[in-house]
Chains A and B, each alone.
Chain A
């Protein structure tokens, strides 16, 4: 009895119940749509239909099944997103470090860091595409810009959150700047740094898919717009929608897992609870 109660009370179970509720609502609406629409898969397909389209061995463009096609295009998009993400993380961290080290750099960069957040970078995607002239590079650039801001801002907040006592202790140890940063500042900013990573991971993916839609060629977004225009079965569109939703959510959780793996304090927190 107790075990059952524990399972019902657990967070995972409640989340699963919510997912089940959403699936039921989706399916009920799908049956309704199937009755009134001529092409129900354009509006709201049955989930089984989407799963079928992913598992079926029927080829879509002559050589590939839907699953192979989605995966191949996802590879092109996501590898660029990942590269841009890493570049954005590195430059964001370095800028935060520089801003923390030098007051002048902080004063110059801080207002612009705020402004970047307000500028609709995604709206600038077409022009960046025109400047770089290559869709693969623009994917990387835009993913990097979008990653850069949350990482830099959060890491800087982490550096600032180091307590005065910690600074004083390091001062009494006669620690030099290098020691101060490697022993105190950088370890202290890591949780904030990971907050930045979690915010920007789905953004980097969104950016890459969006850039895809601007031009032909290979990529999830490109496939998505082709399917929307009717160049192939509409199920490919739904496959991509679900696939990118899952990838977006997973990328967020992946960063959380990475934090637990890399950071001892997170494991302690988990045990302590």
Chain B
């Protein structure tokens, strides 16, 4: 027993230490220029980590403005898209015959490249506001909405329909109405599936927010800054925004994990 727990603890330590060693090795290779030789590039295009950190700390204010613009788009689009996706799932679960066909269409939307979607939506939302900033933000939010809608609708539909065995029979013996069945059985049953969907769509929303910025009229956002800085050959600044974008993606996922842990804990 004792041997087993020791080996288990050793394995847990290994799974933390080994990746850290790998990460440290990677950053060392980067800082010492070994990575540049491997990738056949120079410190101008791929600046040293220390330089990137310096730039981030020197331009915090400006970077935060762009982070805020991107996060705003990603979060609002994610919420709107997930809500719409869930409503579609409810519709599909209520009218299974026509609904599931509709789900096929929605998931087909998901296969449409965002690069094709973003310019179209930006075109359509030109009349929303006379201010470029407002209408650009609106367009970007819609792009993220469309992208996050599909995964939520497909997963939530499964959560609403794949019920524990006999649970709907139990509801029938209680003579529960459709509404009661929905609120007491189907809705709670779909909660884990909502999180499955969000695990896909949270990183997806960040990516689509960044890509939609490429096509937007108004120049703002982390994704756009990466591109703009590369166009003027400011690679170090571009890298600062890339690192920022990675941090934004990781932080948003971490927040989701915390919310999921809190919600699922309550259910137990």
Cβ–Cβ contact B115 & A224, under 8 A: yes
How many interface residues does chain B have, given as a range? Answer: 35 or more
Q: Known contacts A127-B242, A202-B111: does B230 contact A108 (CB below 8 Å)?
A: no
CA distance A127 to B47 in the complex (A): 11
Assess whether A118 is in contact with B249, with CB atoms less than 8 Å apart: yes
**Inter-subunit contact A111/B19 (CB<8 Å):** yes
Given contacts A107-B18, A108-B19, A120-B210, contact A127 B238 (CB under 8 A): yes
Q: With contacts A123-B226, A213-B115 known, what are 19 further pairs, Cβ within 8 A?
A: A17-B101, A18-B105, A104-B18, A120-B203, A120-B210, A120-B246, A120-B249, A122-B210, A123-B242, A126-B227, A126-B230, A126-B238, A130-B235, A131-B39, A131-B46, A202-B113, A209-B116, A221-B115, A241-B119
Q: A205: shortest Cβ distance to chain B, in Å?
A: 6
Q: State how many angstroms separate the Cβ of B64 from the closest Cβ of chain A.
A: 17
CB of B238, distance to nearest CB on chain A (Å): 6
**Which of A11, A118, A244 contacts B101, CB < 8 Å?**
A11
A17-B101, A123-B222, A251-B111 known; A108-B211 Cβ under 8 A: no
Q: A123 contacts which chain B residues (CB < 8 A)?
A: 207, 210-211, 222-223, 226, 242, 245
> 8 A-B pairs, CB-CB below 8 angstroms?
A11-B101, A107-B14, A120-B246, A127-B45, A131-B46, A210-B115, A244-B112, A245-B116
Closest-CB distance, B105 to chain A (whole angstroms): 5
On whether A120 and B18 interact (CB within 8 A), knowing A22-B105, A44-B124, A127-B239, the answer reads: no
Shortest Cβ distance from residue B51 to the other chain A in the assembled complex, whole angstroms = 14
Binding site for B on A (CB under 8 A): 9, 11, 14-15, 17-19, 22, 42-44, 103-104, 107-112, 115, 117-124, 126-127, 129-131, 202, 205-206, 209-210, 213-214, 221, 224, 228, 237, 240-241, 244-245, 248-249, 251-252
Q: What is the CB-to-nearest-CB distance from A234 to chain B, in angstroms, rounded to a whole number?
A: 10
Cα–Cα, bound, A158→B175 (Å): 42
Report the tally of A-B residue pairs with Cβ distances under 8 A: 142
- Judged by a CB distance under 8 angstroms, whether B71 is at the interface is no
Q: B37 near A: Cβ within 8 Å?
A: no
Interface contact B113-A245, CB-CB below 8 Å: yes
CB closest residue in chain A, given B42: A131
A119, B243: Cα distance in complex, Å:
9
Which residues on the B side are within 8 Å of A241 (C-beta)? 116, 119-120
A239 smallest CB distance to B (angstroms): 11
Do A107 and B19 touch (CB < 8 A)? yes
Closest 8 pairs (CB-CB, A-B): A14-B101, A206-B113, A248-B111, A123-B210, A202-B111, A118-B249, A245-B112, A126-B230
Please indicate the chain A residues that have their CB under 8 angstroms from the CB of B227 in the complex.
126, 214
Q: Which B residues form the contact surface with A (CB < 8 A)? A: 11, 14-15, 18-19, 21-23, 39, 41, 45-46, 97-98, 100-102, 104-105, 108, 110-116, 119-120, 123-124, 126, 203, 206-207, 210-211, 214, 222-223, 226-227, 230, 235, 238-239, 242, 245-246, 249-250, 253
Residue in contact with A130 in the complex, picked from B45, B104, B223, CB distance below 8 Å: B45
A209 in contact with B207 given A120-B246, A130-B230 (CB within 8 Å): no
A118's partner among B18, B45, B246 (CB-CB below 8 A) is: B246
Cβ-closest chain A residue relative to B246: A119
Q: Across the interface, which residues of A come within 8 angstroms of B11, CB to CB? A: 103
B97 x A14 contact (CB < 8 A): yes
The answer to whether A244 and B116 touch across the interface, beta carbons within 8 angstroms, is: yes
B254 (CB) vs chain A CBs: closest residue:
A118
B98 neighbours in A (Cβ, 8 Å): 14, 17-18
Q: Which residues does chain B contribute within 8 Å of A118, judged by CB atoms?
A: 203, 206, 246, 249-250, 253
CA distance A131 to B119 in the complex (A): 27
When chains A and B are docked, how far (Å) is the Cα of A103 from the Cα of B249?
28
In the bound complex, do residue B115 and residue A206 qualify as a contact, i.e. CB atoms below 8 Å apart? yes
Query: Please, which residues of chain B bring their CB within 8 A of the CB of A245?
Result: 111-113, 116
